[in-house]
Amino acid sequence: MPRLAANLTMLFTEFPFLDRFERAARAGFRGVEFLFPYAYRPQDIRARLEQFGLQLVLHNLPAGDWDAGERGIACRPDRSAEFGEGVERAIDYAGALGVKQLNCLVGRTPDDVPAAQAHETLVDNLYRASQRLKDAGLKLLVEPINRFDIPGFHLHRTDQALALIDEVGGGNLFLQYDVYHAQRTEGELSETLRRHLPRIAHVQVADNPGRNEPGSGEINFPFLLGHLDRIGYQGWIGCEYKPAVSTEIGLDWIQRIAK
């Protein structure tokens, strides 16, 4: 079975956040991930991880005012200082929680900023962040997100993300490959994974349409999960989907297609 990590932002949502760790462990997960830890004391999250024998495999840098609809600030010239402060906060949490990689949601392209300036800001912010994380023994990731779900999101294709990684340089920026977002935007899932495997630090899964559990839609997950094994992917697979009914009712997909 692949190493599956429960995304606690989207799974077990009928329970308070700190109670979801126990539910994930009871369901057989050995890893967890989530969007943000910053609303909680790191020692409280660490206690849940240790109590239930779970590994935290990923969380995101701060991404602005999420409740107001912001989805990242890395390409905003007027928010660079805030972005840098968020990097430091994320590093502190990562150290306390034992996580080894952090994802950067780069945000929507600003309407009020020239495209070249937004891009230059993004490159500069990612370079400085990747080097700070490198000093701390952490990897920095970036994730393309489809523009159907988040209109205007700056980074929305794999080739665009890889070109950005090349431009940033520095050797500590990697791709987070979300199968759902990639399917909606470009397809070619298996060949993209094979071709760019050395640059992919994390994989996330959900089916399409609906972003529900694997096996509910058009993606051939028995083939794709086997393909990841065949090409030698060694990382975790984050289960970042919306359960069609409830998390626990839908977990039979693991027995059907992930073994």
Stretch 75-100: mean pLDDT:
98
Sequence-ordered list of residues with C-beta below 8 angstroms from that of 24, at least 6 positions apart, any chain: 6, 8, 11, 12, 32, 52, 54
Instruction: Tell me the domain boundaries of the chain.
Output: 4-257
Classified by CATH at the fold level, domain 4-257 comes out as TIM Barrel (3.20.20)
pTM above 0.85, yes or no: yes
Amino acid present at 80: S
Nearest to 56 by CA among 88, 21, 28: 21
pLDDT of residue 1: 57
What are the tens digits of pLDDT across the range 151-191?
999 999 999 999 999 999 999 999 999 999 999 999 999 99
CA 60/CA 171 separation, integer angstroms? 19
143 catalytically annotated = yes
Q: Which residue has the tokens 């977002």?
A: 181
pLDDT in tens, 198-251: 999 999 999 999 999 999 999 999 999 999 999 999 999 999 999 999 999 999
Determine how many CB atoms are found less than 10 A away from the CB of residue 201: 20
Judging by DSSP bridges, how do beta strands 31-33 and 55-60 pair with one another? parallel
Q: How many CB atoms lie within 10 A of CB 57?
A: 22
- Reduce the DSSP state of residue 253 to 3 states and report it: helix
**Which is catalytic among the residues 14, 85, 240, 248?**
240
Which residue of the set 88, 143, 188, 191 is catalytic? 143
Q: Is the pLDDT of residue 98 over 80?
A: yes
Active-site residue, 70 included: no
User: Residues of the chain with pLDDT > 90: what percent?
Assistant: 97
* Distance separating alpha carbons of residues 259 and 257, to the nearest angstrom: 6
Q: Using alpha carbons only, give the angle 142, 148, 149 rounded to the nearest 5 degrees.
A: 65
- The first and second tokens of residue 234, run together, are 């060694």
pLDDT of residue 82: 98
